[in-house]
Structure 1
Amino acid sequence: MKPQILCISFSDINVDSRVLRQVQVLSEFGAVTTLAYGEIPAGASAHIEIESSLPSLPQTPLGVLGLALRLYKTSEFSAPAVRQALQLATGKTFDLIIANEARALPLAHRLASESTPKTPVWGDMHEWAPEERAHVMPWRLLVKPYMTHVCRSYISKTDAVSAVNGSIGRLYDSNFGGSAKVVRNAAPFQDLHPSPMKDGMIRLAHSGAAVPGRNLEGMIQAAIDLGEGYTLDLYLVKARDGGKYWEQLRTLAAGNSRIIFHDAVEPTALAATLNQYDVGIFSLPPKTTNHQLMLPNKFFDFVQARLAIVFSPSPETSALIEEYDLGKIAADYSTQGLVDAVKAMTRADIAAYKENSHRSAHSLSSVEDEQTERSILEDLLSR
């Protein structure tokens, strides 16, 4: 009989590239049940769907009061989505449980404890949980201490821990114990080639989530300031605000025909869609630890799309840009810094960087990360 594996993610799983890749690897080892927002994803054998309207943090009046009073043990199961998930999953047994991000750890350990011996838990922490949205004051005051409590209470009890890069993995190790493995947000290898450049035009592209705090306004302004000869195409996943922020961004760019908003595309189609452009851009002021130590999906998507890359400074991304000679690192996090970095590249430079992305596509694909995941799974399922 195949091992029964539960994959918990409080995200819309079908647009969560990291978790979708994870599910594919999990499916090599057993029958996967996903517990998440959205419909059953490819690779899953069964699915427990959480109502999309239910928040995964204690955002109800009583929940906020509990956070304010530091009643963290009670808060672990006070979020509406977590309560529903516990109700739907209780009584089911699994051979392995994966918790994606810290907010899923209490639920994973509660469900794991229903088996004797206790089911092993793999905590894929993704980024640094205590500062996920620490640039927002309510999060910093109420949620950051709660997330710290969750990590302190559960990381040391978790059988395997992973994070998106070595810098963030070391934060978990030094603050909460354990030995985090690195599973980057690298995309699968795509059999593409650099697209030819168009005469008289340099085509910039950006992909990601349309949520505040990602400096999308700064990138739009940079495209405006670059002037004629540059275009910016945006592929943005709308947030759970009904697309209000996405519309605000469109208003900011209104009247500029060189800035084009597109509907988001499926993660599996993103690299091929971006392949028609020349330069992938991202500039993010380091307002949180995650910003400072970023190594996001879009970096690897740009490589698989065979683009030149221009990013603001960050230890993880800057090291890879320099190692593989993929593009330019902006001098700072300002709009002008991004403009200057883009303008510093000649057309010949951009063509060369696109070729370097092509040569690096195997090395910077998800192959290495999938092997790390497989080694974790082999260890945990052999227990």
Structure 2
Amino acid sequence: MGRFPENNSVRRLRLAIVSYSFIARDARVRRQIEYLRPHHDLTAIGYGDPDPAWTDVTWHRLELRETALEKLTRNAFLTIRPALPALYDLYYALRPLYRQTYALLMQSGANAVHANDLSALPVCAEAARKLGAKLVFDAHEYAPLEQETPKFKRLETPARVHLLKRYAKRADAAITVCEPIAERYMTEFGFRPIVIMNAPALQIPPDHTPAPDRIRLIHHGVFDPSRGFEQMVEAVALADSRYELHFMFVGNADAIARFRAQAEARVPGRVFFHDPVPTPQVVETIAQYDAGIHYLTPSSYNALIALPNKFFDAIMAGHAVFIGASPAMKELAEQYGFGRAAASFDPRDLAALLNSVTYDDLIAMRAAARQARHKLNADIEMAKLVRLYAVMSDE
């Protein structure tokens, strides 16, 4: 994995990174740690155990998870919050998870705090204010529309809009995953995040020559039925017999087994399931396949304009990439020539796309991906974050 040489002329910050995720499995937060720890003294606060290599990172493992009673209480406060915003702020401040996080931040003596996602922003903002520390807000995606179910939009969206209006402008800088989200935050909330895409570090896995009559598509990541896996299976069922589909999922084993039975019944002998591998081994593992398939059902605004980790993993693996009508992925795929987008999110259009691709097309797209990875990688994207903190260290 690529790294920037340590710059001894930059003042080392006491930098606390907060993420309410299992950090060692969270690719975006992992990269923050990997690229910032050569330059600053890091404290990480989140779930799970650290990567064994992070011996120079002070690690605080959070144990508190939301109980059923807390969820009921939270929903009650979310219901009345539009009329009495101060009550939701009070509830948020008194939650055991945030009180624990606040105490750990104060204990760290940080002079810079990095809040991952809106869920961590309020407590990080309050701690940064108390510590006199710099604050960076990584919004990741567009928080008010993480989901677009009626219940979410009724309860969660107003609360998230309130938190963004209250805390986002306190940040000294903000970052996000793609340009459309950055523009929307500027238009609706008055702050302009820096775009840092979810690209992995530059890797050059072994190349291979695909077989013309057996093109192996692969999709990997978290198993979430809302993401369009059934549509991928349907598209391959409708496509030429030269295509086979491979899945490598992380998630609920029972749910994956049920989906596997359905998929194998629909496309017997042409769909396969594989055990997941640790995050650092993903690119090398998927590089053994021929092409990536990244159809993502547009179930929300974030899903529609997504530029997910797995999309960049496929580029790094040297894959041809086939996608639905996702505008942000389509723009990069066409700009660099490594992929093609279906005309719509209908599986029949994805099948038509697959059938239109010649063997020469496939080889050309794979070659384009091998060129694109030299520009679409974490060494380039994370340089923006390294520079941001270097500037802050001089202020």
TM-score using structure 1 length:
0.92
Match of 2:143 in 1: 129
Letter in 2 for 1:76: Y
Q: Assess if the C-alpha contact under 8 Å between 1:188 and 1:367 holds in 2.
A: yes
Q: Secondary structure at the match of 1:198?
A: coil
Q: Give, in whole Å, the separation in 1 of the partners of 2:128 and 2:288.
A: 46
Letter in 1 for 2:78: L
Q: How does 1:75-86 map to 2 (within 5 A)?
A: 75-77=91-93, 81-86=97-102
Q: 1:224 to 1:77 in 2, by over 3 A?
A: farther
Q: 1:56 to 1:17 in 2, by over 3 A?
A: farther
Deviation at 1:57, TM superposition (A): 11
User: 2:30 aligned with 1:16, yes or no?
Assistant: no
Q: CA RMSD in A?
A: 2.2
Q: 1:339 to 1:55 in 2, by over 3 A?
A: farther
Q: Assess if the C-alpha contact under 8 Å between 2:16 and 2:108 holds in 1.
A: no
Q: Give, in whole Å, the separation in 1 of the partners of 2:198 and 2:94.
A: 30
Q: Give, in whole Å, the separation in 1 of the partners of 2:67 and 2:167.
A: 18
Q: 1:318 to 1:86 in 2, by over 3 A?
A: same
Q: Secondary structure at the match of 2:130?
A: coil
Q: Assess if the C-alpha contact under 8 Å between 1:204 and 1:230 holds in 2.
A: yes
Match of 1:72 in 2: 88
Q: Secondary structure at the match of 1:253?
A: helix
Letter in 2 for 1:196: T
Deviation at 1:197, TM superposition (A): 0.7
Q: Give, in whole Å, the separation in 1 of the partners of 2:29 and 2:200.
A: 12
Note the alpha carbon deviations across 1:211-238, whole angstroms, 9 max, x for none. Answer: 2321122112223333632211112221
- Alignment match of 2:72 (pick from 61, 64, 71): 61
Q: How does 1:237-316 map to 2 (within 5 A)?
A: 237-238=250-251, 242-255=252-265, 256-316=268-328
Q: Give me the identity figure in percent.
A: 27
Q: Give, in whole Å, the separation in 2 of the partners of 1:56 and 1:18.
A: 27
- Alignment match of 1:185 (pick from 198, 223, 237): 198
Q: Give, in whole Å, the separation in 1 of the partners of 2:224 and 2:68.
A: 17
Match of 2:4 in 1: none
User: 2:370 aligned with 1:380, yes or no?
Assistant: no
Deviates more, 1:159-168 or 1:286-295: 286-295
Q: 1:262 to 1:82 in 2, by over 3 A?
A: farther
Q: 1:174 to 1:131 in 2, by over 3 A?
A: same
- Alignment match of 1:173 (pick from 176, 186, 191): 186
Note the alpha carbon deviations across 1:189-228, whole angstroms, 9 max, x for none. Answer: 1113532112520100011211232112211222333363
Count residues with an aligned counterpart.
Answer: 376
Q: Secondary structure at the match of 2:165?
A: helix
Deviation at 1:162, TM superposition (A): 0.5
Deviation at 1:287, TM superposition (A): 2.7
User: 2:246 aligned with 1:233, yes or no?
Assistant: yes
- Alignment match of 1:113 (pick from 108, 129, 138): 129
Note the alpha carbon deviations across 1:269-298, whole angstroms, 9 max, x for none. Answer: 111111111111112232321122111111
Q: Assess if the C-alpha contact under 8 Å between 1:32 and 1:45 holds in 2.
A: yes
Letter in 2 for 1:304: M
Q: Assess if the C-alpha contact under 8 Å between 2:43 and 2:57 holds in 1.
A: yes
Q: 1:219 to 1:80 in 2, by over 3 A?
A: farther
The runs of 5 or more residues in structure 1 that have no matched partner are none
Q: Assess if the C-alpha contact under 8 Å between 1:56 and 1:81 holds in 2.
A: no
Q: Secondary structure at the match of 2:226?
A: coil
Q: Give, in whole Å, the separation in 2 of the partners of 1:57 and 1:112.
A: 30
Q: How does 1:288-367 map to 2 (within 5 A)?
A: 288-367=300-379
Match of 1:31 in 2: 41
Letter in 2 for 1:155: A
The runs of 5 or more residues in structure 2 that have no matched partner are 1-10, 82-86
Q: Secondary structure at the match of 1:91?
A: helix
Q: Give, in whole Å, the separation in 2 of the partners of 1:193 and 1:359.
A: 14
Q: Secondary structure at the match of 1:316?
A: helix
TM-score using structure 2 length:
0.89
Q: Assess if the C-alpha contact under 8 Å between 2:220 and 2:310 holds in 1.
A: yes
Q: Secondary structure at the match of 2:329?
A: helix
Match of 2:6 in 1: none
Q: Give, in whole Å, the separation in 1 of the partners of 2:57 and 2:65.
A: 24
Q: Assess if the C-alpha contact under 8 Å between 1:58 and 1:80 holds in 2.
A: no
Deviates more, 1:140-149 or 1:162-171: 140-149
